[in-house]
Amino acid sequence: MKAIKTFNKLIQLQSDNYGDRVAIYDRNKLTDPWKSISWKIFNDKVNTIAKALIELGVKTQDRVAQFSQNKSENLIIDFAGYTIRAVVVPIYPTSTPEQVKFITSDAGTEIIFVGNQKQYDIAVEVMKESECLKKIIVFENDVKLTDKEHSMYFEELMNLGITSTKASEQELRRSEAKEEDMSCLLYTSGTTGNPKGVILTHSMLNEAMRIHDIRLKGITEDDVSLAFLPLTHVFERLWCYYILYRGTTIYINHNPAEIQTTLKDVRPSMMCAVPRFWEKVYIGVKEVLNDYTPIKLGIVTWAVAVGKKYNVDSLRIGKKPDWSLRTRYKIADKLVYSKLKLTLGLENAKILPVAGAKLSDNITLFFRSIGVPIVYGYGLTETSATVSCFKDEYEIGTVGTIMPAVEAKIGEGNEILLRGKTITKGYYNNPEANEKAFTEDGWFRTGDAGEIRNNKIILTERLKDLFKTSNGKYIAPQEIETRLGTDKYIEQVAVIGDERNFVTAIIAPSIPQLEKYAKEHNISYADIDELLRNEDVYKLIESRITEKQQGMAHYELIKKFTLIKIPFTIETGELTNTLKIRRSVITKKYQKEIDAMYNV
C-alpha cells in the first residue's frame, strides 16, 4: 500500500480496495462459530462509531479508554477514534481497580469501553471516585448494568451512530488530521512505580509501517494472522495494524488460555508471541520425546541435526544446500518436522515474531532447525515496537538486525540508545520521566544494556534489574531466570541477591510435573505443602538448577531456593500485565522466606 500520513484513512482505503473480502474473524467463546467482518463492514462500523463518539462529546485529541479482552470491537474503536482525531488509551484486561483508576485519571479519559462483568464492575467502582470518567460502554450484552445512568451497551452506541447527523463533522476532522496528532497513549506495565503513558503519534505509526515493509518480505493478502497477545500490548497492536495495512486477514483469539486449541483451528501463517509461549511449547516437545523409544529418539535427533545443517548452517547465510542435504531434509521433514508442526497447528507458518523478554538461544536454534520460522526481535512501547528483528541472515545470540531508519548506539554503562521517527517524543503528563528518558542531545535511553555488532543488537541485561552482591559482583537475574524457565519442573522463578553475599531464588514449580515425579518415584505426601517440603523433591529441583546453570560464573549460581505452592500472578501484583517479574513486590511478600535462606 502507498504510505499514508495519518491512520484515520486506512480502513476507508482498504474498504475501497477489498470491499467484501474478509478483514477480521472473531468469536466470544471457543464453542462459537467464527464471525467474519468484511473490509466494507469494518469501514461502516468505524464510521458509525466515530459519529457516535462525536455525539457523546468526544473532541479533537480527547482520550478514550478501552478495558477488555481481545475483540474485533477494539480495532473498530481504534480506527473510529483516529477518524475524529481522538486518542485511544488501551488498558490491560487484567488490570486492577488501582491501575484503571491511575490510567484513566492520568490520561483524563471521560469514556471507557469494557468487555466482561468483572471489567464493568471495576469501571463502575473507579467512576465513583473519578473526576473525569463519565460514561461506560459495554461490549458484551450479558453484562448486568448496575449504573444505568452512566452505562450503555455497544449496540446502543452503534444505534446512536446510525441515527447521527455528525457525518460532516467527522469528515472535517478527518481532513484536518495532522501527522503530529497523538494516536494512542500506551501505558507501560511498570515493574516499578506507576505506569507511564507513552505518546504514539500518527507519524510514528506510519513510519513503523514503512520500515516493516522494507524488512518483512513475502506477506500476501492470502496470509492469515492470529492475534494472541493482548491488543493492549504494543507488540500485538502494531503488528495487527501492519497486517491491516497489508490487507491481510486477522483471526482474534479472545482467551489466551485457549491458544493451543485456536492454533489448531486457524492454522495461521503468522502469529506474535512472547518467549514464555515458546518455552512452554519446547518443554512440551521435550516431554513427548522423553517417552520415545531409543530408535524413535535417534531418528528425531538425526532430523534436528539435519535441519540445523539445512536451515541454520546453509540457508541462513545464503548458501544453497547440496543435493545430499536437500534429500536428507525432505526425509526428515516427512518423518519429523511436518508431523510436529501439524500437531502444533504451525504447518502454514511463515513469520512468527517473538519479543518482549529474553528467549533462550537453544530454543531459537531448535525451532529454526526444524523449520518453524521464529523471528526474534527487540522493542519497547516507546519505540513503536520493533527496534530490531531477524532478517534472512539472522544470527542466533542476537535480537536481530536494527530496523531501517532506526539509529542505535551504545552509551554509558553499555546502555542501548535510540533515535528515529518511530521513537516517542516523551511520556504524557510526566516531565520528570521525560528528563530521565532522554540524553541531552535527544537519544532515548532504553534501560537495556548490550552491544551492537554488524548492525545487530546483542542484549546483555536490563539495567534496572541488574543488582550487585555484597561481594561486589554484578548479577543479571533475567539471564538466570530465562535458563531456569526452560525446565519442565520450574514454572516461575525470581532471583534474589541484591546486597546479599550469594544468590537465592523463590521458585514456583510445576505442580503437575512434581506430582507425576512423585508417583513415578513412590514419594508419598498428604498435600502439596508436604510434597514441596520433601527432601527428594528439593534435591530434584536442586539438580535441575545445577544443570541449567552450567557454564555460569560461580557467583551467579543459586545457592539456596524456596519452593512456593501458589505461582506469581498479576492480581497479587507479583507480575506486570505483560508477565514480567516485579522483584520488589516478591521480595517484600516473601521477606521471611528470603531472610531464612540467608539465616537472618
133 band by pLDDT with thresholds 50, 70 and 90: very high
In a domain, 352, yes or no: no
Q: Average per-residue pLDDT in the chain? A: 94
pLDDT value of residue 160: 98
- Cα(551)–Cα(273) distance, integer angstroms: 29
| CATH number for 37 | 3.40.50.12780
The mean per-residue pLDDT over the stretch 319-340 comes to 96
pLDDT at position 1: 58
Last residue of a domain, one of 250, 271, 292: 271
| pLDDT tens, position by position, 178-187 | 999 999 999 9
Residue 557 and residue 503: Cα distance in Å, rounded?
6
Q: According to the 3-state scheme, what is the secondary structure of 70-118? A: CCHHHHHHHHHHHHCCCEEEEECCCCCHHHHHHHHHHHCCCEEEECCHH
Q: Residue 18: inside a domain, yes or no?
A: yes
Give the mean model confidence (pLDDT) for residues 22-49. Answer: 96
Whether the pLDDT of residue 524 is over 70: the answer is: yes
- Other beta carbons within 10 angstroms of residue 413's beta carbon come to 9
CA dihedral 88, 92, 93, 97 (to 10 degrees): -100
34 falls within a domain: yes
CA dist 18 and 246 (Å) reads 11
The domain boundary, picked from 252, 271, 290, lies at 271
On the question of pLDDT at 600 being above 70, the answer is no
Half-sphere exposure of 51 (CA within 13 A, CB side): 18
**Which of 271, 300, 318 marks a domain boundary?**
271
Residue 353 is assigned to a structural domain of this protein = no
Across residues 212-219, what is the average pLDDT? 93
Position 123 in a domain = yes
- The percentage of the chain sitting over the pLDDT mark of 90, rounded to a whole number, equals 85
- From residue 43, how far is each of 14, 40, 60 by CA, in Å? 8, 5, 20
Which 3 state secondary structure label does DSSP give 586?
helix
Instruction: Tell me the pLDDT tens digit for each residue of 146-157.
Output: 999 999 999 999
Please, how many CA atoms are within 13 Å of residue 554, restricted to the half-sphere of its CB?
Answer: 1
Q: What is the CA radius of gyration of the chain?
A: 25
Within a domain: residue 451?
Answer: no
Identify whether 528 is part of a domain: yes
Count the alpha carbons within 13 Å of 234 in the hemisphere toward its beta carbon.
Answer: 29
pLDDT in tens, 396-450: 999 999 999 999 999 999 999 999 999 999 999 999 999 999 999 999 999 999 9
What average pLDDT does this structure show over 114-138? 97
Q: Which of 220-234, 477-491, 568-582 has the lowest mean pLDDT?
A: 568-582
pLDDT of residue 199: 98
Side-chain half-sphere CA neighbours of 22 within 13 A = 15
Report the pLDDT value the prediction gives residue 191, as an integer from 0 to 100: 58
pLDDT digits (tens, 9 = 90+) for 258-302: 999 999 999 999 999 999 899 999 999 988 888 899 999 999 999
- The tally of domains found in the chain comes to 2
Closest C-alpha to 281, from 356, 370, 392:
370
Would you say residue 538 has pLDDT above 70?
yes
In a domain, 298, yes or no: no
Indicate if the pLDDT at residue 189 is higher than 80: no
The secondary structure element, H or E, covering residue 458 is: strand 456-462
User: CA-CA distance, 511 to 564, in Å (whole number)?
Assistant: 10
Alpha-carbon separation of residue 38 from 210, 248, 250, 481, 486 (angstroms): 25, 11, 11, 44, 41
Task: Tell me the Ramachandran region of residue 329: left when phi exceeds 0, alpha when psi lies from -120 to 50, beta otherwise.
Answer: alpha
Which ranges of 396-476 would DSSP assign to H, the alpha helix?
Answer: 431-437
Res 464: pLDDT: 78
pLDDT score recorded for residue 461: 85
Q: How confident is the model at residue 495 (pLDDT cuts 50, 70, 90)?
A: very high
Segment 464-470 mean pLDDT: 80
Instruction: Return all residues near 464 (Cβ < 8 A) that are at least 6 apart.
Output: 191, 192, 447
- Residue 2 confidence (pLDDT): 57
Q: 3-class DSSP state for residue 293? A: coil
Identify the pLDDT of residue 73.
97
Measured from the Cβ of residue 171, the count of other Cβ atoms closer than 10 Å reads: 14
Whether 41 shows a pLDDT value over 70: the answer reads yes
Average pLDDT rounded to a whole number, residues 24-38: 94
Q: Which residue has the cell 468483572?
A: 118
Confidence (pTM):
0.90
Structural domain range at position 473: 467-597
Q: Tens digits of per-residue pLDDT, 55-65? A: 999 999 999 99
Please write down the long-range contacts of 470-476, taking CB distance under 8 Å and 24 or more positions apart.
470/499, 470/500, 470/501, 471/501, 471/555, 473/553, 473/555, 473/556, 475/503, 475/555, 475/556
Residue percentage of the chain with pLDDT more than 70: 98
Q: Is the pLDDT of residue 190 over 70?
A: no
DSSP state letters, 387-413:
EEE--TT--BTB--EEPTT-EEEE-GG
pLDDT value at 192 more than 80: no
